[in-house]
Structure 1
């Protein structure tokens, strides 16, 4: 009997050794840089399976460099993001520095990441992230200075690559005017892709980059109308960008009258995903940086003069509840009195409540109410130029003069001013909401709520930050404020951020649950002095029994 049992005693250690060997192989492969990892995946079928298992869930990698040698900076960020196993499904590179050659950056990244990898390269007023060499987190604004009579600027780049399913549509439009048919086509392409992948016409998230020469308001209004409000949309409203999506596509500045006015990374759930695949979620929050000031006004008379490409608006208004019509100079004087002590330190905006009829194709139209901010300039504020914002250039005894259009007779508006106290408080509230989200995923809370174990294994994959270029250290008088919600709650998670000249943000209901119902009814997509946060989480699939 003992002799018969001996082979069984030997068999158990052999099986155990095989298991340990596979674990060791996986442990080794996890430590390889991306290029070596790709080679290892082709060694054998078993190694390929192990490699696929390692990359079976979403992953972000991000790196930041301020090396003044642009080639060295590119090498640093690419080496860092490819220092671990990853097969990039997309790449986003944001660069600072006037006159940066985006084409050169795109060519370099395509060579390193693969010609079929969708890549967006854009300009930014500043960047935030972890240094590729020191691993120190920094927020850096584009600092221009004068040396030897010439203007010089600081070069910086942040590169983010990730494993997520997506699609990049493009919008072709003229420099100054969006054609409605092209906007419809752009939005339909997003819905059609989401429907083909997930069976639902709304994706879970969109990261959008808008060209600095095109008005993104019609695009965002149409997206807000056509896509579920649960879809998170963040991005940079006004920038220069190039991109590739499979076959090379790019904006060709200066050579053509037409160019893509927007490009979007669209993330949709895959209904045909393999069994055992978990779920990706997008969570969004907004830190506002403006405060309302003065009474509500109603536009009484509105005239538009000038050309289609350079319109000027003339308007008069009355205070809400009053009959007297006020001219431009009186309106500005009243707001000037309200801003005693803030003159020269605040940027001023008009927040306009606009009711607009929206429809796409032959679908039934709906009336949506938008809150749209228009920048104001005068003796008490700085000048901010934008194709989307209404810029008050002067007021006289008859009209308030504005560069641009967008306000209609009967629209209500109120003045807002940039406010670091409000911004700091709002940023702290975002951090608090992130902390609550993190707490809801803790094992103890899961057990108390009777939630399944796999929810407790939820992890944060990475995040993006899109912040107004008016914020940053000079605005808060302290550093890393806009990054703080991520740094305080998810310190080891890869994040990438940009300071932009128009922050896009939409779909904040998940984290802003305490928002006033009347405020929530307003559609706000294009913001001022705000920071939009996108947090990506992953929930593993429950174990099969």
Structure 2
């Protein structure tokens, strides 16, 4: 014991803080920004232990900057998210507007964050978050994509959102979906599933992670990839993200960093969150919770595809169909005339889709195939006296489908339902029912540490007629908590039930890729004393 005390005094003397109590030293360290704290941890074993104690709880930090200068915008969000102690386990940056350059933003951020920190930088149609300078929460839609990084045009709606996460008790990695450049354009979805499973088994001993944030490239069809993941993962695994975007990434696994490779294309990237089987004693439990605001309404009767043709050149499908229970085959124009008659009382235009119920066999590598049922949305292009034209492929003869249209009233009601559900979840966290007596005595309750929002780019203020509707369920229930959101080219929502206006499940057939929806993912933390 005397030897330990002697060593401690020597350490204190080395730091020059020998006359200060350990509590005072820790209070000083807690006020340091992240880079300074990282340096302080290298001073001595005592300081290293203090820094580890400070960084024992999970944390998300997020900020947006609308500065038209990308260099300044990146510096502003970095200064904000690293202004307090945090050890980055991952970083996601989403840029928007005419002055945003994907490669430049990636290079600026990669140089400032640790070389082993998984980093994903994407293009977004807009962002939601707190301003790095004013701390005001904003939903901002972006301008057009920047085709020339040297463009000097200054767009008021340009900027960047940066989110950094520290999640002790979890391991986080960026795992890409790779495609060989010299091979036929066939997705290597099986390889992605195997990579995610292998990483998760090493981290946790389980084949399924607790959550995935995924970004798909804009020129690929992500439906078959998501279907593979849906088949392969446990139902508890939540998958959210942006179906169609542009992205660059850096993985902590050097072998997966092929952004500049001539052998592979990166068609998608998955940020994988897996339990850490070797988490330190005293670390609590992080849980993922998800909800979805639906923004489309079904309209008209169900149809059954009678004939199907795929135009592979532009990835579209031409089809004829029968009304359910009828024998007459209808062409595209007759089908659309009936649907337009149903829509004629609506004010303004509506985006039109068909939701196809698909029953398919699915497997990974040599596993025994399993029958999967899911709902796939396809945008309607139009119709003539022969065919109905829709975007995408994968529809078969005899598949059933129904028309859906974008509907702000449905979306508003759904947002309200999400807010109620999150409020009930929050009340459940604060309830003492079912807790162990020591938990009640210590008043240990779950808390929200942050949230993510993925909204359709067709929503926002122009869709609802007022601002901040998409972010309202999280803002109302978790004010002051770090929130990061983007407007997407397509919303990924796996493992999430849709509730109707009465709070009941709306769809019996799951849909992992949504349209005109907003997906919410909330992270909660239960201190270690709550685990029994």
TM-score (norm 2): 0.88
Q: Please, which of 302, 316, 324 is the counterpart of residue 320 of structure 1? A: 324
- Which stretch has the larger CA shift, 257-266 or 187-196? 257-266
Q: Which runs of 5+ in 1 are unaligned?
A: 1-17, 377-391
Q: Contact conserved, 1:96 with 1:123, CA < 8 A, in 2?
A: yes
CA distance in 2, matches of 1:157, 1:543: 38
1:488 aligns with 2:492: no
What are the residue-to-residue correspondences of 1:100-119 with 2, within 5 Å?
A: 100-119=100-119
Give the conservation status (yes or no) of the 8 Å contact 1:283–1:534: yes
Which residue of structure 1 lines up, in the alignment, with residue 163 of structure 2?
A: 160
Asked if the contact 2:354–2:401 (Cα under 8 Å) also holds between the matched residues in 1, the reply is: yes
Q: Deviations over 1:6-49 (max 9, x none)?
A: xxxxxxxxxxxx99922222222111111211122122222211
Q: Which residue is 1:22 aligned to?
A: 22
- Out of 446, 452, 455, which is 2:432 matched to? 446
Distance 1:43 1:512 in 2: 57
Shift in Å, 1:347 = 0.6
- Aligned residue number for residue 402 of structure 2: 414
Aligned residue pair count: 500
Residue equivalent to 1:283: 289
Alpha-carbon distance in 2 for matches of 1:487, 1:105:
28
Give the aligned partner of residue 220 of structure 1. 226
Shift of 1:300: 0.9
CA distance in 1, matches of 2:128, 2:61: 14
Give a deviation string over 1:407-429, Cα, whole Å, max 9, x none.
11011110000000110110111
Partners of 2:426 and 2:504 in 1: CA distance: 24
What residue is the counterpart of 2:411 in the other structure?
Answer: 423
Alignment of structure 1 residues 523-542 onto 2, 5 Å: 523-542=510-529
Secondary structure of 2:162's partner? Answer: strand
Aligned partners of 2:140 and 2:157 also within 8 Å: no
Please, which moves more after superposition, 105-114 or 415-424? 105-114
Match of 1:186 in 2: 192
Per-residue Cα deviation, 1:448-469 (whole angstroms, up to 9, x for no partner) = 7767437842111111100000
- 2:246 equivalent in structure 1: 240
Is it true that 1:206 corresponds to 2:194 in the alignment? no
Q: What do you get for the CA RMSD once the two structures are aligned?
A: 2.7
Distance in 1 (alpha carbons) for counterparts of 2:184 and 2:275: 33
Q: Could you say if the C-alpha distance between residues 172 and 455 of structure 1 is closer, same or farther in structure 2, counting changes exceeding 3 Å?
A: farther
Query: Structure 2 unaligned runs (5+)?
Result: 1-17, 146-152
Q: Distance in 1 between matches of 2:284 and 2:510?
A: 32
How far apart are residue 402 of structure 1 and its match?
3.5
- Relative to structure 1, is the Cα distance of residues 518 and 440 closer, same or farther in structure 2, using a 3 angstrom cutoff? closer
- Greater Cα shift, 447-456 or 84-93: 447-456
TM-score by length of 1: 0.86
1:22-421 alignment to 2 at 5 Å? Answer: 22-98=22-98, 100-143=100-143, 154-164=157-167, 165-173=171-179, 179-180=186-187, 182-246=188-252, 247=254, 249=257, 251=259, 258-304=264-310, 306=311, 308-342=312-346, 344-376=348-380, 392=381, 394-421=382-409
Please say which of residues 30-39 and 468-477 is displaced more in the overlay.
30-39
8 Å CA contact 1:233, 1:505 repeated in 2? yes
- 1:144-189 deviations in whole A, cap 9, x for unaligned? 59xxxx9957311000001122122111126998625x11010111
